[in-house]
Amino acid sequence: MSDIKGRVTGATPDAARTTHVSRTTNETDVAVSLDLDGTGATRISTGIGFLDHMLEAFGRHGSFDLEVSCTGDLEVDGHHTTEDIGIVIGQAFAQALGDRTGITRYGDVALPMDEALMLVAVDVSGRGRLHWDCDIPLQYLGSFDTALAREFLDAFATNSGITLHVRQLAGDNAHHELEAVFKGVARALRTAISLDSRCADAIPSTKGAL
């Protein structure tokens, strides 16, 4: 922890691809622990029930061990909380991945959930950006504003250095659509960050760096 507002503190990356990141601002206090090679065990407390549900699905389907705690200004709305959690989880991925040696790099999936179908493709590129083409109804799911899913993923992509494409192929129920998005991102990431035993000592880029 640090009393410097907005400063990332407590980062402890190591060869085990685990990390802990905390971030405190005037709006939120976020702490994330991540093990990329986990079993999908999660402990999530964001103050927003639907976001907890999505992050539990994210950890489970990515097979990440993920702990997220956040105390945010929910008296304003869920925006700062959701975006800042995306920032910190993104930073945790960047740190846990280290120099990206031996990773598969790419992953993609077409993830169905009932009538919803989401195409997700990721590249652990070092040039993080979200490319979003979804038409999800603007509504509240519990206390969660569905518009915030894009804000979360934008923050995650930017801070992780992961190129993230999310494209809606079908769907008309916002809960199904967003659950398919989070599970799809998790599944695509699970593949992309997996270690490729044939290239264990290589960084998967002809540039020699990611």
Nearer to Mn ion, 84 or 179 (CB): 179
The site that binds Mn ion (CB under 5 A) totals a number of residues, namely 1
Is the Cβ of residue 180 or residue 193 nearer to Mn ion in the bound state? 180
Indicate if the alpha-carbon torsion angle 167, 118, 148, 176 is positive or negative. positive
Nearer to Mn ion, 54 or 85 (CB): 54
We find the least distance from the C-beta atom of residue 105 to Mn ion, in angstroms, to be: 30
For the bound state, the minimum distance from the C-beta of residue 50 to Mn ion, rounded and expressed in Å, comes to 8
Q: How near is the Cβ of 109 to Mn ion at its closest, in Å?
A: 18
207, HSE (Cβ side, Cα atoms, 13 Å): 5
Least gap, CB of 178 to Mn ion (angstroms): 9
Q: Which is nearer to Mn ion, 154 or 179 (CB)?
A: 179
The least distance separating Mn ion from the CB of residue 185, rounded to whole angstroms, comes to 15
Q: How far is CA 154 from the centre of its chain?
A: 9
Tell me whether residue 151 or residue 179 sits nearer to Mn ion (CB atom): 179
Q: At what angle do helices 49-62 and 174-192 cross, to 10 degrees?
A: 30
Which residues within the stretch 131-190 sit at the binding site for Mn ion (CB under 5 A)?
A: 179
Minimal CB distance residue for Mn ion: 179
Which positions lie near Mn ion, rule CB under 5 A?
179
